[in-house]
Structure 1
């Protein structure tokens, strides 16, 4: 009976859609909160706060490969961009990692209403995946 009930609950759950990515998310690293919004036909994401930003609110993008960008603030930095809707996911975009100053190919896939799988790749199969959790 329990497996039948679980099957019915799963069947009743609304499917995740690409718009499910819109919102505020807690990342797996740095206890960061990011905001993902629509940017035209795409999505983009910016850094709202993190453990480092709570102690160093004026933190700069010091490791950026482009020396001209090294003085820009981390808070509010757009680090996700260029995605194309791919069914229920967003693919073909990029994710910027301020920890190493590099940009990687990325895909964002909703896992239900309250989780996102965010995958960044130097090139496949050299990828790292995180699961982000909705905060509001």
Structure 2
């Protein structure tokens, strides 16, 4: 990698807004749109393999019975983050497959790659790499 490309990658990682955009998850063909929500960021579900099959999927696995009729498409699944030292931390990620919300951290690797970590509690964490959708 050239020095110029390395400098651009480093500058992108130091920019809190590098996470803004559409991201492909590692599993189930998910596309999440991350946007600024005041001083934080939030992420909504744009599509997934399940939504491609059934665009009317509902949040049937939610632990709160009152929320089981809300549509998956457009649902906020990321929120509550604070930016510090090059990463977004202290937020949450909702997993529609088990209806649970986990503590989360988002670490930009470069302008096109994010590392997400969701934890029940540390050290019981799961990591994923998301790639930017152009």
1:131 and 2:129 are equivalent in the alignment = yes
CA change 1:35–1:122 in 2 (3 A) is same
- What do the CA deviations read for 1:50-105 (whole angstroms, capped 9, x no partner)? 01101100000000000000000000000000001122110000000000000000
Give the equivalent residue in structure 2 for 1:90. 88
Give the equivalent residue in structure 1 for 2:28. 30
Give the equivalent residue in structure 2 for 1:118. 116
Aligned pairs for 1:1-136 within 5 A: 6=1, 8=3, 11-15=6-10, 16=13, 17-136=15-134
For normalisation by structure 1, the TM-score amounts to: 0.92
**Shift in Å at residue 10 of structure 1?**
5.5
Matched residues, number: 131
- Partner Cα separation in structure 1 for residue 84 and residue 43 of structure 2: 17
- Higher-Rg structure is 1
Task: Flag structure 1 segments of 5+ consecutive residues without an equivalent.
Answer: 1-5
For residue 51 of structure 2, give the secondary structure of its aligned residue in structure 1: helix
Task: Flag structure 2 segments of 5+ consecutive residues without an equivalent.
Answer: none
